Amino acid sequence: MQQLRLNFEKSTWIYLVIASLLFILPFMMSGRSIMFLVMQIFIFGIFAMSYDLLLGYTGIVSFGHAMFFGIGAYSIAIVFDLNEPTMFYLIVGVLIAVLLAAIVSFVVGILTLRLKSHFYAMLTLALAGLFLVAAEKWRSVTGGADGFTISVPEFFKDRTNLYLVCLIVMVLFFFGLRRFTNSPLGRVLMAIRENEGRTESLGYKVLHYKVIVSVVSGVVASIAGVLYMLSLRFVDTSVFATEVTLDALLMTIIGGVGTLVGPIIGAALIEFAHHWLSDLSDVHWIFERWIILFGAVYILAVIFFPKGIAGTIQELYRKKRKKRQDNKEIKSEDKMAG
Amino acid sequence: MDLFFSLTVNGLATGMLIFLLAAGLTLIFGLMDVLNFAHGGLFVWGAFSGVWVYDLTGSFWLGIVGAIITGLILGAIIEYLIIRPVYGNHVQQILITLGLMLVLSELIKVVFGPDQKAATAPEYLQGSFMVGDVILIKYRLFIILVGFIVFGVTSLILKRTRIGLIVRAGVMNKEMVQTLGVNIRLVFMLVFMVGAAMAALGGMLMAPYSGVIYAEMGLEFGILAFIVVVIGGMGSFSGSLLAAILVGLAQAYMAYYVPALSLAVNMLLMTVVLIFRPQGLFRVGVK
């Protein structure tokens, strides 16, 4: 037990060191585009973490996660559009985003989470489609497919500030969600993933827990949407597109399902790859179609490395540690015998 | 009245295209318990390869044959390489077939170029008949006809032949069929190939109907096909025909009478069916 706690702290330290390195990054380098890229990684890292709560921790496949992302982006954008872009309305916008996401995820969850995995996946795909259609048709508020530009509070016009805010939010969510997944509630979620029927017969109300996790996940995703809007200062219907969900899916699977670092690693990989491989399209046109590469990696990952990067590393580490421990035990036994 | 009539013909034609896609999907699900999210990808591949052959040879029929052959080959490869490793694991199946869908639609852009492609019906299928004051567009009637022929032939195969018997028995209880000495894996592959070929045929027929084909239409039609499969009941062949017609008609009428709802009507339909009757309207089998 002692050993376990010590190791937890060790990994926490590693994460904190990385976070503080990222903290000083904007003061070390001035490349605007690279900073924007890293910011996108934070935002999609948050989004992918929220997706992993469903996919990796509870074993729910949702194809409609983009709807919460879009709800976040549109709530804040519309609040700023109708009012002055001040810090007060930022808070109002965030509250509205969180509230809406919570309500929608609650209602959707109550109605659909009792369905089997196939049906749930399809239904969420369709519901996200409905949101996309609604955003396109409700032109007076959403500006239709063209979207609209908005001004943000002064504070966020400075790239460094925005960068730091995104980083802080990501770090907070990372540790918060780690706490959440390590809590008794998180353990029940993992039990549902491993064996739903058994969890149910042990007396847990599975639907109840699934709804809770979908609300948490929806709220976190909506915050990612808010940050996304703040970073782009523009919103259009593409925030509801299936591609957004697919991105989260790729990030989670490649980075590592069932871990919280995994989605962030995945987000970094995909955003960087997207950035660089698109640049390479001058060299050869195949790089324009970088998604093929990722699709192939993704398929191979699902078949051969279902744990992704982070999961595989963790497993290796755990194995090594176990070996070391075994060796130690053998040695001490030898000593005793000697 | 003639307006209503032509809307109906429209809806039927769209319904038949969706049926071709959904029929394979529902059989694959019923028999193999695999929900193939990449089915729309096969639809696009059928469309592009068929139009390519059609352009090359100038023969529409050769184009159809080309699309079907593409569907069969792709179906065999996909079943063997992608689906086989993940039998029995639903979450992995969903994830992997979705990834496949991405790859298939991006590959379209690599092989056939990223632009939209235009396609026209051959001359003898262009134009329209006049019956009284009702205009019947030939190509739409042709699609409806093909849809019914495919439905008829497949139903006959399912009901009258030994292989059809095995497939129907497999949908009900595949372990039992296996115990009786049937190589169910082979049947799986065959059904997957036929399903893929039907999707490819649907894509090819779709091309002159809409005039243009593009890589993204796979996902759009894929979603419609899912809706149909859900409404019709997973694994029910005739259910998928009825549901496809229902969806096609609903879309055609709504597009005219309530345009704002036309995109949403089918999703609403599916939502209602899933919530109140998740087994679908025409469920078969005992699962």
Search chain B and give the residue with CA nearest A114.
Answer: B275
Give B41's DSSP letter: H
Contact B267 A298 (CB under 8 A): no
Q: How many CB atoms are closer than 10 A to CB A330?
A: 10
B277 Cα to chain A: minimum distance (Å):
11
Q: Which of B90, B96, B271 sits opposite A299 (nearest CB)?
A: B96
What pLDDT is attached to residue B284? 53
Write out the H or E segment, with its range, that includes residue A335: helix A308-337
Is residue A8 pLDDT above 70, yes or no? no
Cβ partners under 8 Å of residue A224, min gap 6: A43, A44, A46, A47, A50, A69, A72
d(CA A284, CA B17): 37
- Report the residue of B102, B228, B251 to disrupt the A interface, i.e. the one with the largest count of A CBs within 10 Å: B102
**For tokens 């699609």, what's the residue?**
B143
Question: Cβ contacts (< 8 Å) between B263 and chain A: which residues?
Answer: 129, 133
Search chain A and give the residue with CA nearest B111.
Answer: A286
**For tokens 């696009």, what's the residue?**
B44
Interface residue ranges in chain B relative to chain A, Cβ cutoff 8 Å: 29, 35, 37, 82, 85-86, 90-92, 94-96, 98-100, 102-103, 106-107, 109-110, 114, 219, 223, 226-227, 230, 234, 260, 263-264, 267-268, 270-271, 274-275, 278
- Using alpha carbons only, give the angle B219, A288, A279 rounded to the nearest 5 degrees: 140
Q: CA quadruple A60, A61, A64, A68: dihedral positive or negative?
A: positive
The DSSP bridge pattern shows strands A148-149 and A234-235 to be antiparallel
To the nearest 10°, report the CA torsion of A292, A298, A301, A307.
160
Cβ partners under 8 Å of residue A153, min gap 6: A85, A86, A87, A90
In this prediction, residue A45 has a pLDDT band, given cuts at 50, 70 and 90, of very high
| Rounded average pLDDT over A192-216 | 91
| Rounded average pLDDT over A203-219 | 93
In this prediction, residue A75 has a pLDDT band, given cuts at 50, 70 and 90, of very high
Amino acid at A323: K
B243 Cα to chain A: minimum distance (Å):
16
Q: Are B191 and B27 in contact (CB under 8 A)?
A: yes
Search chain B and give the residue with CA nearest A127.
Answer: B267
Per-residue pLDDT of A221-276, as tens digits, reads: 999 999 999 998 888 888 888 888 888 988 898 888 888 899 999 999 888 888 88
Question: Cβ contacts (< 8 Å) between B105 and chain A: which residues?
Answer: none
CA distances (Å), B52 to each of A63, B63, B104, B113, B142, in order? Answer: 33, 7, 17, 12, 21
Least confident of A30-34, A252-256, B95-99: A30-34
Pick from A117, A299, A193, A126: nearest CA to B234: A117
Domain ranges of chain A: 32-306
What pLDDT is attached to residue B82? 87
As given in the structure block, the two tokens for residue B62 are 């050769």
| Rounded average pLDDT over B248-256 | 87
Contact A299 B100 (CB under 8 A): yes
Q: Which of A253, A292, A306 sits opposite B106 (nearest CB)?
A: A292
What pLDDT is attached to residue B285? 47
Is residue B286 pLDDT above 50, yes or no? no
Is residue A5 pLDDT above 60, yes or no? no
As given in the structure block, the two tokens for residue B174 are 């595949």
Per-residue pLDDT of B213-243, as tens digits, reads: 888 888 888 888 888 888 888 778 888 899 9
Least confident of A275-289, B99-113, B170-184: A275-289
Amino acid at B74: L
Q: Fold for domain A32-306?
A: ABC transporter involved in vitamin B12 uptake, BtuC (1.10.3470)
As given in the structure block, the two tokens for residue A63 are 């194809």
| Rounded average pLDDT over B158-167 | 89
B155 Cα to chain A: minimum distance (Å):
26
Pairs of CB atoms within 8 A across A/B: 97
Domains identified in chain B and CATH numbers:
2-276 (1.10.3470)
Contact A302 B92 (CB under 8 A): yes
Contact A292 B107 (CB under 8 A): yes
d(CA B142, CA B147): 9
Question: Cβ contacts (< 8 Å) between A125 and chain B: which residues?
Answer: 223, 226
Search chain A and give the residue with CA nearest B231.
Answer: A119
As given in the structure block, the two tokens for residue B199 are 């999707």
